[in-house]
């Protein structure tokens, strides 16, 4: 077993200072994970916010100069953009540098990034399973990853010391690290994240397009359940477009299962099979209890939303 | 225009002291809406909790005796049970009494209840669009309806004074009252509540049944979106079975629209139509903004769930 290097990084470079990138910057500073943080973004407005919020020691739109001295470079751009970024920064990376990312899809990221990295640079793909519906450098916060899982998908021949370095970094951000293959990751996330987002986006679109029910009615009576879906359907459009385009096969497979089950449920409704409905509705409660028990969800009613001032009254 | 009677009720009878019934009892007492509250439930364990929590002035399992002197009787039982309750209590109601309910479906409730009410008793169906994923008398709280809509669906020939009385009562619970036909109600709620619950129950069931992804993985990585659906899918099984059985036509119609749109979305993914995806994902953000602006949802990231102690850090 290789000795694990838990010292702070000398230089951490973050490419893309959105919700995730800026949360990493905040956390790395708060938890003392890097001596120096370089923020790289092609958007001058984002860089201005990074400077105003003092999220990094340096902020630049020069990708090659920004990554040049970094020990760890984390790509926090939409998964459709990682390949082009890797191609442009590859020649500037220092020997022994570690490249990682935060993409919600892993197999396509590996295929897009790995070919552009020079020999002697380590690639340890990562996916912190955390986020909110807000985007941009102002939306981030240092504890976003606290108690959440971060999945690493290193190749079999990746230097274990590089993988360990990334693991230690994410544990420093208070995440729980698990390792799996990119392919399995993409299947797991298809059902726990991608298809849920797809059906949330879809039902919000369906509701918006009805003629018999006005948009005003949809909004007013949304507390009946619909509003929960609108949170997810307010997530970043570019990020999510890229997720669906790059994890097509797993998403369509899981969506196929969802559709089969939904057809059976519709048939149960049509034929008045109350027992089948009651059975499913009882079974699904157990899964939520498991999620709450594992600390991945609040036990408070209604997510603690609009906490009553007098819950016992 | 009839004069509106805003005096407190003499006697309010609540049949079924679950989440909704017990919240009405708490609110009616806190906001001074009735001089006397009678709680009626067939479950002795519920009645014991009602007494322990002091939610009513009397608690009984005797339906006829409980409703006998009431000015307003509110049925807070699953919509599949209202007909039988109405049949049993009808002969005991006093002349001039008002009967209401809180069912999530209205046309079938009207059909089930109205025939059992004697002449001289007014029926004003109601549906407060509010709730949490918890059930039972301990789950209720007095402000559950505050700022939420309550929909009334009186028949055309209903005494306007009776409708006004129910409206004043719900406004006393801090709800916003709107009136529409039972049929339109059922269509609106099919898209804002019933279909969202159906697809939430469905995806939780799909995830539980996969072979390629373990239940433990589903639970651990649920923060990617899935966990939001589990809240709704933890709602009361009996209540929701009855909703789907009694609002079959509107649910299947809205589900048909949802499925058409989902098929188009799947095709966009299959053929890599990023523009169609991005368009939809941008459009859906506006609906959420409308819901937040109308006070039906918190603007806090992630529903305010797990508020970070240092959001600006």
CA A265 to chain centre: 31
What pLDDT shows up at residue B2?
A: 53
Of the given ranges (A76-85, A159-168, B98-107, B302-311), which has the lowest mean pLDDT? B302-311
Residue B172 pLDDT more than 90?
A: yes
Q: CB within 8 A of B16, min separation 6: which ones? A: B40, B41, B75, B76, B77
Which residues on A lie below 8 Å from B308 (Cβ)? 141-144, 146
Rounded distance, CA B198 to CA A268, Å?
A: 12
Which chain B residue is nearest to residue A203, measuring alpha carbons? B258
Q: Smallest Cα–Cα separation from A288: which of A276, A297, A278?
A: A297
Question: How far is the C-alpha of A261 from the C-alpha of A267, rounded, in Å?
Answer: 10
Q: Which of the residues B269, B279, B309 would you substitute to probe the A interface, choosing the one with the greatest number of A C-beta atoms within 10 Å?
A: B269
Q: How far is B94 from chain A (nearest CA, A)?
A: 31
Asked if A200 lies within 8 A of B148 by C-beta distance, the reply is: no
- Biggest CA-to-CA distance, chain A: 66
Nearest to A93 by CA among A117, A115, A110: A117
| A113 and B CB contact within 8 Å | no
Q: Mind listing the pLDDT tens digit for each residue in B189-240?
A: 999 999 999 999 999 999 999 989 999 999 999 988 999 999 999 999 999 9
Give me the mean pLDDT over the A153-159 stretch.
97
- List the domain boundaries for chain B: 9-180, 184-297
For chain A, percent of residues with pLDDT exceeding 90: 86
Set of chain B residues whose Cβ sits within 8 Å of the Cβ of A25: none
Q: What is the mean pLDDT of chain A?
A: 94
The residues facing B210 across adjacent strands are: none
Residues of A in contact with B215 (CB under 8 A): 287, 290
Which CATH code for domain B184-297? 1.10.3660.10
Contact A125, A103 (CB under 8 A): yes
User: DSSP letters along A172-216, please?
Assistant: HTT-EEEE--HHHHHHHHIIIIIHHHHHHHHHHHHHHT-SSS-HH
Task: Report d(CA A159, CA A247) in Å as an integer.
Answer: 27
User: pLDDT confidence of A39, banded at 50, 70, 90?
Assistant: very high
Q: Cα–Cα distance between B122 and B98 in angstroms, integer? A: 5
Taking the C-alpha atoms of residue A312 and residue B238, their distance in angstroms, rounded to an integer, is 25
Tell me the CATH architecture of domain A184-300: Orthogonal Bundle (1.10)
ipTM (interface predicted TM): 0.91
Rounded Cα distance, B177 and B166, in Å = 9
Residue A179 forms contact with B (CB below 8 Å): no
Which residues in chain A have Cβ-Cβ distances shorter than 8 Å to B262? 198-199, 202, 255, 259
- The model's confidence at residue B297, banded by pLDDT at 50, 70 and 90, is confident
| Test the B interface: residue of A20, A143, A195, A223 with most B CBs within 10 Å | A223
List all residues 6 or more positions away from A113 whose beta carbon is below 8 Å from its beta carbon.
Answer: A75, A82, A83, A86, A99, A101, A123, A125
A127-A286-B207-A304 Cα dihedral, nearest 10 degrees: -50
Strands A176-179 and A149-152: parallel
Contact B278 A200 (CB under 8 A): no
CB of B185 within 8 Å of any CB in chain A? no
What's the mean pLDDT in B3-10? 82
3-state SS, one letter per residue, for B118-180: CCCCEECCEEECCCCCCCCCCCCCCCCCCCCEEEECCCCCCCHHHHHHHHHHHHHCCCEEEEC
Quick one: average pLDDT of A294-310? 74
Pairing of strands A58-60, A176-179: unpaired
Which of A269, A126, A12, A210 shows the shortest CA–CA distance to B244?
A: A269
φ/ψ bin of A131: left (φ > 0), alpha (ψ from -120 to 50), beta (otherwise): left
Contacts of residue A1, defined as CB under 8 A and 6 or more positions apart, other chains included, come to none
Q: A181 with A23: CB under 8 angstroms?
A: no
Interchain proximity B238–A213, CB inside 8 Å: no
Assign A306 a pLDDT band (cuts: 50, 70, 90).
low
* Cβ of residue B6 closer than 8 Å to a chain A Cβ: no
Tens of pLDDT, residues A77-129: 999 999 999 999 999 999 999 999 999 999 999 999 999 999 999 999 999 99
Percent of chain B surpassing pLDDT 90 = 86
Residue B62 or residue A286, greater confidence = B62
Backbone angles phi, psi at B118, to 5 degrees: -70, 160
- CB-closest option in B196, B237, B259 to A226: B196
Reading phi first (left if > 0) and then psi (alpha if -120 to 50, else beta), residue A135 is in beta
Mean pLDDT of A44-72: 98
Kindly report the length of chain B. 313
Any A CB within 8 A of B54 CB:
no
Please give the Cα distance from A107 to A141 (Å, whole number).
Answer: 28
Cβ separation B199–A262 shorter than 8 A: yes
Return mean pLDDT, chain B.
94
Smallest Cα distance from A4 to chain B, Å: 26
Confidence band of B299 (pLDDT split at 50, 70, 90): confident
Structure confidence at residue B6 (pLDDT)? 77
Sheet holding B149-152, edge to edge: B126-128, B149-152, B176-179
Cβ-defined contacts of A273-280 (< 8 Å, 24+): A274/B80, A274/B241, A274/B242, A274/B245, A277/B237, A277/B240, A277/B241, A277/B244, A277/B245, A278/B237, A278/B238, A278/B241, A280/B201, A280/B202, A280/B205
Instruction: Provide the CB-side half-sphere exposure for B110 (13 A, CA).
Output: 19
- Residues B134-160 have pLDDT tens digits of 999 999 999 999 999 999 999 999 999
Q: What is the pLDDT of residue B105?
A: 98
Q: What end-to-end distance do the CA atoms of chain A give, in Å?
A: 58
* Alpha helical stretches, state H, B247-304: 248-270, 274-293
Residue B312: band (very low, low, confident or very high) from pLDDT cuts 50, 70, 90? very low
| Contact of A43 with A51, CB cutoff 8 Å | no
* Among B43, B38, B231, CA closest to B136: B43
Summarize pLDDT for A248-296 with one digit per residue, the tens: 999 999 999 999 999 999 999 999 999 999 999 999 988 888 999 988 8
Residue A311 has pLDDT above 50, yes or no: no
**Interchain CB distance below 8 Å, B262 and A259:** yes
Tell me the pairing of strands B58-60 and B34-40: parallel
pLDDT higher than threshold 70 for residue B291: yes
Where do we find the tokens 């007909």? Answer: B83
* pLDDT classification of A308: cutoffs 50, 70, 90: very low
Q: What values do phi and psi take at B10, rounded to 5?
A: -75, -60
Angle (CA) A173-A177-A182 rounded to 5° is 125
Q: Is residue B81 pLDDT above 70, yes or no?
A: yes
Host H or E run for residue A19:
helix A19-30
Give the CATH class of B9-180.
alpha beta
Question: Which A residues in the span 235-264 are in contact with B, Cβ-Cβ below 8 Å?
Answer: 235, 237-238, 240-242, 244-245, 248, 251-252, 254-255, 257-259, 261-262
Whether B7 contacts chain A with CB within 8 A? no
Strand partners, B128: B150
Task: Measure Cα distances from A188 to B4, B13, B72, B122, B160 in Å.
Answer: 58, 50, 52, 54, 56
**pLDDT for residue A132:** 92
Nearest Cα residue to A244 out of A101, A131, A103, A87 = A103
Alpha-carbon distance of A185 to A180, in angstroms, equals: 6
User: pLDDT-derived band of residue B311, with 50, 70 and 90 as boundaries?
Assistant: very low
A31 near B CB under 8 A: no
Pick from A101-115, B37-51, B236-250, B293-307: least confident:
B293-307
């Amino acid at each position: 077993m290789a000795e694990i290097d838990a010292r702070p990084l000398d230089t951490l470079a973050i490419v893309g200072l959105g919700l995730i990138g800026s949360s990493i910057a905040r956390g790395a500073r708060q938890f003392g994970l890097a001596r120096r943080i370089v923020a790289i973004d092609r958007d001058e407005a984002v860089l201005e916010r990074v400077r105003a919020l003092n999220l990094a020691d340096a902020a630049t739109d020069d990708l090659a100069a920004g990554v040049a001295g970094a020990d760890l470079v984390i790509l926090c751009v939409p998964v459709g953009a990682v390949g082009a970024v890797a191609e442009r920064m590859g020649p500037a990376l220092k020997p022994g540098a570690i490249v990682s990312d935060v993409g919600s899809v892993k197999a396509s990221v590996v295929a897009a990034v790995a070919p552009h990295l020079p020999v002697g640079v380590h690639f340890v793909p990562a996916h912190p399973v955390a986020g909110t519906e807000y985007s941009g450098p102002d939306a981030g916060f240092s504890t976003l990853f606290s108690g959440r899982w971060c999945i690493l998908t290193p190749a079999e021949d990746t230097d274990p010391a590089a993988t360990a370095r990334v693991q230690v970094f994410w544990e420093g951000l208070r995440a729980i690290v698990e390792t799996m293959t990119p392919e399995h990751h993409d299947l797991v996330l298809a059902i726990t994240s991608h298809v849920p987002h797809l059906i949330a986006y879809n039902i919000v679109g369906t509701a918006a397009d009805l003629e018999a029910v006005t948009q005003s009615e949809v909004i007013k009576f949304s507390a009946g359940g619909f509003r929960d879906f609108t949170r997810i359907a307010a997530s970043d459009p570019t990020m999510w477009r890229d997720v669906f385009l790059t994890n097509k096969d797993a998403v369509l497979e899981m969506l196929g299962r969802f559709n089969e089950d939904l057809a059976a449920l519709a048939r149960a409704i049509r034929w008045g099979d109350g027992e089948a409905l009651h059975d499913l509705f009882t079974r699904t409660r157990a899964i939520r209890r498991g999620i709450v028990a594992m600390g991945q969800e609040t036990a408070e009613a209604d997510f603690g939303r609009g906490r009553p001032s007098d819950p016992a009254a």
